[in-house]
Amino acid sequence: MARIISTMSIISFLNRFIFSPLLCSVAAVCGIYYFVKLRFYSPAAVYRIFKRCARSGEGSGISPFSSLSVALAGTLGVGNISGVAVAISLGGAGAVFWMLVSAVFGVSLKYSEAYLSVKYRRGIRGGAPYYIEKLTGKIPAVCYAVLCIAMSLTSGSFVQMNAASTALNIAYGVPKIVCGAAFAVLCAVIVFGGVKRVSSFTAAAMPVFCLLFAAISLTAVFMRIELLPSAVCRIISGAFGFRAAAGGFAGAVFSSALRHGIAKGVFSHEAGCGTSAFSHAASSSSDPVGQGGLGIAEVLFDTVFFGLLTAFVILLCPVGDISGCYDGTYLSVRSYSFYFGGAAVHVITWLIVFFAVGTVVCWAYYGCEAVAYLGGGRILRGLYLALYCLSLVIGSVAAPSFIWESSDMLSSLLLVINCTALMKGRGAIRNK
C-alpha cells in the first residue's frame, strides 16, 4: 500500500509541474495555429467542410457514419459523466471553461488528425502511428504505438471499468470484480469480430445512449433553469479568479482550474492525442476534408454539448462541498439523484454501463491497431486482448485517484508526440 501511495504521489507531482504545463502549452500552440491556418473562425469555411462529410468513396472500409460512431464510442460517455465531475471537484467550476477552450481549439486538431489518417493510410489500415512515421520518422511512431497500447491497458480501460463497476456496486451491490469479469467476456466477444463488428455495435448503440442521456440532462437543467446565469458566472469567475491569475502566466498554467479543465477536456474529446485517427482511417471515405469534418462533429458533440450539459447538471445541484474527490461516478449519481430521486440511480447507472461498454470495445480496437502497426500478428493480437481483458478486471477495483492521474500523464505524452507530427505536417493539411 505504501508503495502504491508513493507511486501515486510521484505521478501527481509530475502531472502538476511537468506534464500538465506541457500538455496545456503544446495543445494551445498547435490548436491555435491550426485554428487560424484552417480558418475555423470563419463559419463559411466550417460549413464548406461539413458539406463534404457524406462522401463515402468506394473503399472497402466501414461507412463514414460508422467511423464517427466508433470514434464517439471512444470519447463519449464516462468521460462526459464522471470525467466532468472530477474536473469540477479538483479544479472548481472554472475547470469547465478551460474544458470548453480545449474543445474550441481542439476541433482544428481533430480535423487535422482525421485528415491525415485518410491521406496517409495504408490500404484499410491507418491512424496516428502511420502519419507520424510519414511525417517525423519510425522511432516517434513506434513510441506512440507503444504508449497507445499502454493507454489502452491502463486509463483506456481502467476509467471506464471503474466507473461502471462503481455504479453497479452503488445501485445493486454487485461486487466490482464480478463486473470486471463480465465486461472482459463481453469485450472479447465483440472485439474478436474485428472492426466490422465493433462499428456495427457502436453505430446501433451510441445514438440511443446519447439521446437518452441528453434528454435526462436537459430535463434536469430546465428544472433549475433560473439558476443557470449564476452557474455561468461561477464558471467564468472560477476560470479567471485571483488564484488562477496569481503569478501571471506561470500561475495560470499551474492553477487547478486550468490544469484539470484542459487535462479532462483532452481526455474527453482526445483532440491532439490522435487516438481516434484509427477509427477515421477505417472509413471508406476517400475525401480527407470530409472525414475531417466528422472529426469536428466528434469534438462538438462530445465536449461542447454533452460535457457542458453534464457540468450544468452538477453546478445547478446543491451537492455541498465536493472538492478533492476523484470518484466522479459517485458525484454524478449523487447529482442526478437530486433531480430525479432514487430512480436516477438506476438510469444513470445503466447509462454509465452502456457508455463504458462502447468505450471499452473502442479502446480494445485502438490497441489492436497499435499492435498491428508494430508488426504483431494473430498470436500477438490474441495476447494483447487477453491482457486487455485482464486490465478490465484490475480496473474494476483500482483506486480512482491513480486512474485519473495516470490517464493525465499518458494523455500528455501521446499529445506531445502527435502534435509534433501535426506541426511537421502543417503543409500537407488543407481545408478545401
C-alpha distances in Å from residue 137, one per residue of 130, 288, 370? 10, 22, 16
C-alpha to C-alpha distance for 5 and 220, rounded to whole angstroms: 38
pLDDT tier, 83 (very low <50, low <70, confident <90, very high otherwise): confident
Does residue 1 surpass a pLDDT of 70? Answer: no
Does residue 70 surpass a pLDDT of 70? Answer: no
pLDDT at 24: 77
C-alpha distances in Å from residue 103, one per residue of 267, 268, 408? 11, 9, 16
Helix (H) / strand (E) containing 409: helix 400-424
Segment 110-137, tens digit of pLDDT: 999 999 998 998 877 889 999 999 999 9
Coil, helix or strand at residue 125: strand
Does residue 179 surpass a pLDDT of 50? Answer: yes
Q: What mean pLDDT do residues 7-17 have?
A: 68
pLDDT at 80: 74
Domains of the chain: 12-424 (1.20.1730)
> What is the grid cell recorded at 71?
470514434
